[in-house]
Amino acid sequence: MKYLSSTVASLLLACMAPAALAAAGAAQCPPPTSKKPVTSTFFGVKVTEDYRWLENWADPAVRAWSEAQTACAAKFLDALPYRAEIQGRLADLLGGASPSYFDLREVHGVLFAMKRQPPKQQPLLVTLKSLDDPAAKSVVDPNAIDPRGITAIDWYVPSPDAKLVAVSLSMGGSEDGTVHVYDAATGKELYEPITRVNEGTAGGGLAWNKDGSGFYYTRYPRGKERPPQDLNFYQEVYFHKLGTPTEKDAYAVGKGWSRIAETTLKSSEDGRYLLATVANGDGGQFAFYLLGPSGGWKQVAAFADKITAAEFGPHDTLYLLSLKGAPMGQVLSLSCAEPVLAQAKVVVPESKAAVVESFTPVGERLFVNEMVGGPSTIRVYNLEGKTLGEVAAPPVSAVGEMLAVGGDLCFRDQSYVTPPTWYRYAPATGKLTETALRETSPADFSDTEVIRTDAVSKDGTRVPLTILMRKGTRLNGQNPTLLTGYGGFGIAMTPRFSPLTRLWIEQGGVWAEASMRGGGEFGEAWHQAGMLTKKQNVFDDFAACAEALIARKYTSSRKLAIEGGSNGGLLMGAELTQHPSLFKAVVSFVGIYDMLRVELSPNGSFNVTEFGTVKNEADFKALYAYSPYYRVKDGTAYPACLFLTGANDPRVDPMQSRKMVARLQAANAAKTPILLRTSSRSGHGIDLSLTQRIGQETDVYAFLFHALGMTYQPLPGAKN
């Protein structure tokens, strides 16, 4: 996911074969795409498509086509006005931020953290002296391991005594993680690495045993243990003893689990218990297995029990987040010694107004992060469930992490206009203090107002809509506006700080975010109202938000652009095919467009529990009805489109973007550009290096400025 050039386009051009460069320079740009019709039949419905041949990445013709498309996109993007100014401003905004810290963990009195430190390309693993002394000691620095900047840390787990740390490293955005063990004090690598622990399909995890002599880890099939098509499935848990060959690792649990099991592991603080959380794909179903001192694994909850999260607490207690009969969430407690779900007690009952997003036991207190439509509130309870008040977190902000540090609660909070800050809350005194782990940014939003409103969807549902713009912006229908959203997998759109938004606003733009059904903003019922056969609700919600922005004179269809990625890329495809005249420009990252073929890709199988399957007639009808690839109509005038994908993406096969672009280019009756930009050294975008991110966003914003007719206005006193 990382590379060294200043822009993605220049890197891709440098890496292309001479033949592809020659093709890009030819008269036909974009290159012509052959049609090779293929017909499939689903429940008596014949479906014909012309571009299935673009699915085969092993075909040299497909690679040549992709390279020529990317070179053509680079030629277009590189020639756009204001590109240099935009790139310079993005370098200032993204590269000028202070160090930031995330994924904190306190183990045996040692505070570990991931540190993002521009201009370093990738975050590194460090230890901190304290929350009030940000002096960090590097433990594992991917930038030193790989100067190219294309190696990233997937996750890390310290040993119980904090002397060792296991780290999953992957390259080029592949998320193909290999676990390495390091001395936490010296950063020296010890022992032989273990491969196939983490993948982009089912993720991965690790948990140490009590004495730190070894660890349990997620293991994908190796060699010929499974057929080639199953090597990214059937995740199981094995135990590895340090210093022994991985071939001698012992099977622990997992046989008989779902083919699309996604497993994470965690240990209790004293190491006596280990919990395996097993997701049934991506649709929000979870099972839990507990390993205790007796040495046997016990199933605590099955998928049907609707337990979605679990945390170890004091006194050998396991706390569970339950949605059964409580779609907003309730917290249960259970004895680890006798983990019988029927005996669990309700500690925090369901609220009719707030969603339980997460919870953290700290000493004799239970801190519950509640959400209403996006923003967070932290409520405090004792271990029996008595309400003890709330933590006075900043208003209209989101709590992203909570953990116990030295007997206090530590949490990371951010808003749309304030960078992430770590706070400490002392339960004994009720005192809340800001720690030294505060991020600063060149992006100053002091001139920005945040508007929380809503729109009315097609069926009358009120959909939250957040708008950011400069104070005093005239509502004359002429403001360039960028609308984004996601709407899936129960993921909530929460307040978050983004320097990219600053670039847009300071250039006179309005930024907006829709919180559609399919997300988690209002609990599981909100999620279920936008999944499986109800997915069209998501697209209706987003369109309603776009129409509301126009009706209220924030913008017009000539000045409105939309942007989304992954499941949000599916959203982009649905919107541009269902409402082609509503938007002037579309930017879609690593999106899904052919809903009839997505489940044939490895990670697509994991999405079946969220999207449905063509093997079920009702699901097929819903999928076919909105699938963007099949909804493209010849002779239609489509908005300007920029599709971005990564060649190493393990989550959404890049063929989705290739096919969608080919279909749109053939059908488009307008002279608008339909561009495909494929990065050869990235994947789903999760581990983009700093340089890659600046290059990618330069392309995106230059494209948007051009499509919406914007001019770049130099800032007072700025270099650019």
Taking residues 463-475, what's their average pLDDT?
97
Taking residues 402-430, what's their average pLDDT?
96
Q: In the β-sheet with 133-140, what is the strand arrangement from edge to edge?
A: 100-107, 110-116, 124-130, 133-140
Q: What are phi and psi for residue 160, nearest 5 degrees?
A: -60, -30
Position 495 pLDDT exceeds 50: yes
* β-pairing verdict for 110-116 and 124-130: antiparallel
| 16 CB-near residues (< 8 Å, 6+ apart) | 24, 67, 70, 71
Contact assessment for residue 512 and residue 468, using Cβ atoms and an 8 Å cutoff = yes
The pLDDT tens digits for 51-68 are 999 999 999 999 999 999
| 439 CB-near residues (< 8 Å, 6+ apart) | 97, 98, 99, 100, 419, 420, 421
Catalytic residue (one of 566, 627, 657, 679): 566
pLDDT at residue 394, as a whole number? 87
Position 18 pLDDT exceeds 70: no
Contact assessment for residue 691 and residue 633, using Cβ atoms and an 8 Å cutoff = no
Question: The whole model's pTM is what?
Answer: 0.93
566 is catalytic: yes
* β-pairing verdict for 481-484 and 510-514: parallel
441 is catalytic: no
Distances (CA, A) of 14 to 8, 9, 39: 10, 9, 38
Cα(first)–Cα(last) distance of the chain, in Å?
28
Q: Tokens 């925090």 label which residue?
A: 348
Report how far residue 712's alpha carbon sits from residue 720's, in angstroms, rounded to the nearest whole number. Answer: 10
Beta bridge partners of 511: 468, 482
pLDDT at residue 298, as a whole number? 97
The pLDDT tens digits for 330-368 are 999 999 999 999 999 999 999 999 999 999 999 999 999
Helix or strand (DSSP H, E) at 152: strand 151-158
**Which residues in 302-344 belong to E strands, given as ranges?**
307-313, 317-322, 330-335
Q: Tokens 């116990």 label which residue?
A: 404
Taking residue 350's Cβ as centre, other Cβ atoms within 10 Å add up to: 18
Residue 92 CA, chain-centre distance (Å), reads 24
At residue 152's C-alpha, the angle toward residues 87 and 130, to 5°, is: 95
Closest by Cα among 76, 54, 73, 52 to 63: 54
Q: What are phi and psi for residue 23, nearest 5 degrees?
A: -65, -40
Length reported for the chain = 720
Q: Tokens 């729109």 label which residue?
A: 455
**696 DSSP assignment:** H
DSSP conformation letters of 32-58: P-----EEEEETTEEEEES-GGGG-TT
Q: Where are the alpha helices (DSSP H) in 16-113?
A: 18-25, 60-78, 83-95
Identify residue 82 by its one-letter amino acid code.
Y
Taking residues 141-149, what's their average pLDDT?
95
The pLDDT tens digits for 580-638 are 999 999 999 999 999 999 999 999 999 999 999 999 999 999 999 999 999 999 999 99
Burial class (CB in 10 A: 0-12, 13-18, 19+), 245: exposed
Beta bridge partners of 414: 398
Report how far residue 58's alpha carbon sits from residue 76's, in angstroms, rounded to the nearest whole number. Answer: 27
| Helix, strand or coil, per DSSP, at residue 228 | helix
Q: How many CA atoms are closer than 13 Å to the CA of 592, on its beta-carbon side?
A: 25
Report how far residue 163's alpha carbon sits from residue 371's, in angstroms, rounded to the nearest whole number. Answer: 37
What is the band of 717 on the pLDDT scale with cuts at 50, 70, 90?
low
Helix or strand (DSSP H, E) at 207: strand 206-208
| 611 CB-near residues (< 8 Å, 6+ apart) | 531, 532, 535, 595, 598, 599, 619, 623
pLDDT at residue 718, as a whole number? 57
What is the band of 395 on the pLDDT scale with cuts at 50, 70, 90?
confident
Closest by Cα among 45, 271, 62, 278 to 161: 271
Give the pair of three-digit tokens for residue 552.
């209220």
Helix or strand (DSSP H, E) at 505: helix 499-506
Position 27 pLDDT exceeds 60: no
At residue 553's C-alpha, the angle toward residues 550 and 556, to 5°, is: 45
Report how far residue 573's alpha carbon sits from residue 566's, in angstroms, rounded to the nearest whole number. Answer: 11
Report how far residue 318's alpha carbon sits from residue 65's, in angstroms, rounded to the nearest whole number. Answer: 54
Alpha-carbon Rg for the chain in angstroms:
25
Report how far residue 432's alpha carbon sits from residue 413's, in angstroms, rounded to the nearest whole number. Answer: 13
Report how far residue 265's alpha carbon sits from residue 193's, in angstroms, rounded to the nearest whole number. Answer: 19
pLDDT at residue 109, as a whole number? 94
Closest by Cα among 586, 563, 570 to 652: 570
Taking residue 315's Cβ as centre, other Cβ atoms within 10 Å add up to: 10
The pLDDT tens digits for 71-109 are 999 999 999 999 999 999 999 999 999 999 999 999 999
**With pLDDT > 90 as the criterion, what percentage of the chain qualifies?**
92
Contact assessment for residue 603 and residue 650, using Cβ atoms and an 8 Å cutoff = yes
Query: What rounded mean pLDDT belongs to the chain?
Result: 94
Residue 465 CA, chain-centre distance (Å), reads 20
Catalytic residue (one of 180, 240, 684, 706): 684
Residue bearing the bigger pLDDT, 1 or 712 = 712
Closest by Cα among 58, 64, 145, 155 to 102: 155
**216 DSSP assignment:** E
The pLDDT tens digits for 304-326 are 999 999 999 999 999 999 999 99
Report how far residue 584's alpha carbon sits from residue 593's, in angstroms, rounded to the nearest whole number. Answer: 20
Position 13 pLDDT exceeds 50: no
Taking residue 91's Cβ as centre, other Cβ atoms within 10 Å add up to: 18
Q: How many CA atoms are closer than 13 Å to the CA of 290, on its beta-carbon side?
A: 27
Closest by Cα among 230, 201, 278 to 608: 201
